[in-house]
Amino acid sequence: MVDCVVKDWQGADAGTAILDLKVANEDNAAHIVHRAIVRQMHNSRQGTLSSKTRSEVRGGGRKPWRQKGTGRARAGSNRSPLWRGGGVTFGPKPRDFEVKMNRKERRLALRTAFQSRVEDMVVVQNFADQLSAPKTKEVLAAMGRWGVESDEKVLMITAEKNDVVYRSVRNVANIKLILATNLNAYDIVLADRLVVTAAALEKIQEVYSA
C-alpha cells in the first residue's frame, strides 16, 4: 500500500490517494514484466513481409547460354539468387508472431509495472473542467507546476475520454494520453513520468485488482 499526494490544477497539495495493488514477488517481478513487454511488442507485428524465391520470380525458364564453350560460368536460370532480379534466399515470408501469455500473468505484470513507477508518478485532480477550450499552453504550464520537465516522456492516464483534454495534448510529441482501462506494460515502462488523475487511479485499482 502506497500513499500518493494529490495535486490540484495550481500544483498545490490537495489530499492523498491510496495505491494498493497485488504485485509479483521481488524475485520474479522483472521477469514477468519483461515477458509481458516482449509479448506486446511481438503481437503488434503484422508479419506481412514477403519476398519471392527463385521459383516465384517471373521468367527464368530459358537457359541464359549454352553449358560449355562460352568461357563463362555455368548458368541455368537468370532468376537465380546470384543474379540481379533473381529470387531471394531465405527471405521473409508471412508469419504469425503471436506470443501467448495467461490472462492472470498479464494482469499481474501490468500491476507490477504500474506500482513500480510510483516514484515517477504524479497524481492530480481531474482538470478537464479547468479547460473551457483546448489549450495546449495551459496544460503544459500545469505540467510544469506539477514538477514535470518539458523534455520528459509523459504518459497521461485519465478515467474517461474527454475531447478537450485530448485536443489539448495531441500536438505534444512527448505526451501520450490513454484511458485507465487501456493500460499496457510497454507504455508504463517507456514513460519518464506518469501523470494520473485521482479518478483514474481509483479506476485502475477497480479494474485490475482482481
Structure confidence by residue, pLDDT tens digits, 55-84: 999 998 899 999 999 999 999 999 999 999
Evaluate whether 31 touches 20 at the Cβ level (below 8 Å): no
pLDDT in tens, 24-41: 999 999 999 999 999 999
Distance of alpha carbon 199 from alpha carbon 9, whole angstroms = 15
* CA-based torsion, 105, 208, 156, 26: positive or negative: negative
pLDDT at residue number 210 = 64
Place of cell 499496457: 184
Could you tell me how far CA 137 lies from the centroid of its own chain?
A: 26
Residue of 104, 101, 111 lying closest to 29 (CA atoms): 111
Question: What local confidence, expressed as pLDDT, does residue 13 receive?
Answer: 85
131 neighbors 165 (Cβ within 8 angstroms): yes
As a whole number of angstroms, the distance between CA 136 and CA 167 comes to 8
3-class SS letters over 34-63 = HHHHHHHHHHCCCCCCCCCCCCCCCCCCCC
pLDDT tier at 94, thresholds 50, 70, 90? very high
Alpha helical stretches, state H, 73-197: 103-116, 136-145, 163-169, 185-190
pLDDT value at position 208? 87
- pLDDT of 150: 87
Phi, psi of 28 (to 5 degrees): -120, 15
